[in-house]
Amino acid sequence: MHIRMKQFLVIAAIVMGGSASAQTNLEISLAHQSAPEARTREQLQRLLGSYDVAPWTFTKSIAIDETVIPHSHPVLTLSTRHLKDDELLLSTFVHEQLHWFLVQKGGDTRAAIADLRKIFPNGPAGAPEGAIDENSTYLHLIDCYLEYQADIRLLGELKARQVMEFWATDHYTWVYRTVLDRMRDIAAVVRSHNLIPGDGTAARQAPRARLQIDFEPANESFAAAAKEYAEIWASDGARIVSAMERATGLPFERGPIRANVLEAPSNSGSGDTPMRLRASYPAATKRAALVHELGHRLMGDLVPGNIDEHSIIFLFVYDVWAELWGQPFADEQVVIERRRTGTDYDGLWRAALTWSREERARRFADFVREHRK
């Protein structure tokens, strides 16, 4: 098939995907290709075919790993623990999806946590009563409350209550018991900070990024990777642009930007020179690469030739990653980038992360003031 037709199909797939249910577009991978993981995938697919989870779907990349505890970031990962209990698997899926929603609503989430600390001043840290630390315990008061409300809509009040009662004896025991006993107090905080997921339109119809990127496969073998980049931009592009412009105080070019997808090192390009994006990156690193390469383009000609531009963009790239997809995501991408060759990625990342977020922002602002023409 001609490459231009492939490009058309990439764009068409994104447009048509907006009207499909969220579950039909999920990509579910298996960590070890084991029989329990395969059965859990089949179980999940069956459940998502029976229940409309669109209002609580915020990421479409799912992994199943029989060796881990379920977690949301950097990739939503489920275990094989609930092969014999549909309701518990469904509730876990929703719980981890809701973490993505709360990351997207970062400012509102932080404000709600501050209010919950005042209402519940002695929240525990550590298992089994709480989460990994005190802040995460308060975060889970929000997440688990939203999980309960979702379960009520999906399963009905009786089964939803049974799921919550089980969780209250299993893990985050103080959190789930508090959700059951003090639901009205938590609900008031959640509503006051606009932390109620919508009716699913946000998951199905992400805001369109005002910066257009045309992802073009270098040949037919890269069409699937170009489609994946295009889907990432369709779902996250508007947030990426807003977060990067907010972090830097710099406006993006008008675009459109051409991006060639191929198996070669990623490169930002500039002006009419296309961006290059490596095809084989996993989904999370594709997201990270988009922010990284766009960071170079955002700097334009501000960085003198005697300065490694990475030393400047690393003053904001980590914090943009963390804002968009959470700190665990950002930490993992730093580990990946520090292994790269061609420039001193390890040393430059090490230097950038010795400073606090505030210090990085101050140093970046000073650089821009000094070099802006």
DSSP string of 169-197, one letter each residue? HHSSHHHHHHHHHSHHHHHHHHHHTT---
Rounded Cα–Cα distance for residues 226 and 180 (Å): 46
At residue 351, the pLDDT reads 95
Rounded alpha-carbon distances, angstroms, from residue 147 to 11, 57, 109: 34, 12, 15
The rounded Cα 257 to chain-centroid distance in angstroms is 23
Contact 318, 364 (CB under 8 A): no
Strands of 74-217 (E only): list them: 76-78, 213-217
Write the pLDDT tens digit of every residue in 191-214.
888 898 874 344 344 455 578 999
At residue 247, the pLDDT reads 87
Residues of the chain scoring pLDDT < 70: 1-24, 199-209, 373
At residue 209, the pLDDT reads 58
Rounded Cα–Cα distance for residues 84 and 43 (Å): 9
Contact 267, 276 (CB under 8 A): yes
Contact 360, 311 (CB under 8 A): no
Q: Quick one: what percent of the chain has pLDDT higher than 70? A: 90
